[in-house]
């Protein structure tokens, strides 16, 4: 009887330990990043060249992550890239004059989008902040190292 109870308890503890391990993997190791999807709104921006930007790349303001890229597609007419990103609800960005740039983390790092907020304009009271479905008009394409080197060589030869 006593032995049976010991077996029961240890099997129960074993399963609990497994659940605990799963919890650690979810909370501590993967940071809950995509289980609880952030509440946010979608905005898009058109870029002539996105370089190596990928879905799930971070979107930052002043270096602080406020969202991520959710979709990248090629516009059929203009043949430029439409990047859709999801930004957190609680961070409001002025609509007027905000611009999006594709930057690189360090020299060899991955690409991310940096949004430079514009001014809060007195005249645009009816649409002060970016909201769902907006398109960021001002964009700057990714700086691609090979293109820069190419231009440099071209100029030197001239």
Partner 1 sequence: MLELISRLGQRGLDGAQSIGSSGLFLLRVLARRPDLPRLWPAIRAQLYFIGVLSCLIIVVSGLFIGMVVGLQGYNTLEKFGAGSQLGQLLALSIARELGPVISALLFAGRAGSALTAEIGLMKATEQLASMDMMGIDPLGRIIYPRFLAGLIALPVLSLIFTVVAIYGGYFIGVQWLGVDSGSFWSNMQAAVNFRLDVASGIIKSVVFAFVAIWIAMFQGFTCIPTAQGISQATTRTVVYSSLAVLGFDFLLTAMMIGGW
- How far from 53 is each of 3, 40, 70, 74, CA to CA, in Å? 60, 21, 11, 13
Site membership for partner 1, residue 78 (CB under 8 A):
no
Among 2, 5, 14, 123, binds partner 1 (CB under 8 A): 14
Site membership for partner 1, residue 30 (CB under 8 A):
yes
Our CB check for partner 1 shows the closer of 31 and 77 to be 31
Are the C-beta atoms of residues 102 and 53 closer than 8 Å to each other? Answer: yes
Smallest gap from residue 60 Cβ to partner 1 (A): 12
Radius of gyration of the chain (CA): 23
Q: Cβ-count burial of 143 within 10 angstroms (0-12 exposed, 13-18 middle, 19+ buried)? A: middle
The rounded distance, in Å, linking the Cα atoms of 7 and 103 is 58
Site membership for partner 1, residue 76 (CB under 8 A):
no
Q: Which residues, in sequence order, are bridge partners of residue 129?
A: 94
Site membership for partner 1, residue 77 (CB under 8 A):
no
Among 1, 2, 5, 35, binds partner 1 (CB under 8 A): 35
| Residues of the shown chain interacting with partner 1 in the complex, contacts defined by CB under 8 A | 7-8, 10-11, 13-15, 17-18, 21-22, 24-26, 28-35, 56
């Amino acid at each position: 009887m006593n032995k049976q109870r010991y077996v029961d308890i240890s099997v129960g503890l074993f399963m609990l330990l497994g659940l605990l391990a799963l919890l650690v993997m979810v909370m501590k190791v993967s940071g809950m990043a995509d289980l609880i999807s952030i509440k946010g709104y979608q905005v898009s921006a058109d870029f002539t060249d996105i370089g190596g930007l990928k879905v799930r790349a971070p979107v930052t303001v002043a270096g602080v992550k406020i969202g991520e890229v959710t979709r990248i597609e090629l516009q059929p007419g203009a043949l430029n890239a439409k990047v859709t990103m999801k930004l957190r609800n609680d961070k409001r960005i002025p609509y007027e004059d905000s611009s999006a740039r594709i930057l690189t983390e360090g020299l060899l790092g991955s690409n991310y989008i940096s949004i430079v907020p514009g001014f809060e304009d007195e005249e645009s009271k009816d649409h002060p902040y970016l909201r769902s479905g907006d398109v960021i008009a001002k964009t700057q394409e990714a700086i691609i190292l090979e293109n820069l080197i190419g231009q440099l060589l071209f100029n030197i030869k001239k």
